[in-house]
Amino acid sequence: MSKTSAARRVPEKPSLEGVETKFADRWRSANLYNFDRTARRDEVFAVDTPPPTVSGSLHMGHVFSYTHTDTIARYQRMRGKHVFYPMGWDDNGLPTERRVQNYFGVTC
């Protein structure tokens, strides 16, 4: 086996030490997650999804529905688009009031 092929072998037990920091630093230095509000319209990819509500516990349906948009946003970002993908929660209204009442066992 040549030195080149031996050097390219995947280690049997790779070290994950510092991997997260390494990529977080790269993303930060590239301003990867900072949306450029001055970008031209044809350079922007915007994702507009309704916010999830807090009327119940998280379940696999949340994973299923948000994985699609997250994957699309990441793909567009890799293609060089300025991705606008705001995330928020709808925590107002009757569903929230009822959830709090049920959680604490109180009524209004």
pLDDT digit string (tens) for 13-26?
888 899 999 999 99
- The tally of domains found in the chain comes to 1
- Confirm whether 64 is domain-assigned: yes
Instruction: Answer for the pair 85, 92: CB distance below 8 angstroms, yes or no.
Output: no
Which of 23-27, 48-52, 88-92, 96-100 has maximum average pLDDT? 23-27
- Confirm whether 3 is domain-assigned: no
Lookup: tokens for 14: 């790779």
Lookup: tokens for 55: 């009327």
Percent with pLDDT over 90 in the chain: 40
- Confirm whether 5 is domain-assigned: no
User: Distance (Å, rounded) from C-alpha 84 to C-alpha 37?
Assistant: 9
Kindly report the average pLDDT of the chain as a whole number: 84
- Confirm whether 70 is domain-assigned: yes
Beta-carbon contacts of residue 97 (< 8 Å; ≥ 6 apart): 108
Strand partners, 45: 83
User: Distance (Å, rounded) from C-alpha 35 to C-alpha 84?
Assistant: 6
Residue 44, pLDDT > 90, answer yes
- Confirm whether 56 is domain-assigned: yes
Confidence at residue 76, expressed as pLDDT on a 0 to 100 scale: 96
What does the DSSP 8-state code read for residue 79? T
- Confirm whether 19 is domain-assigned: no
- Confirm whether 9 is domain-assigned: no
What is the residue type of 71?
A: T
State the residue range of the domain holding 90.
Answer: 35-108
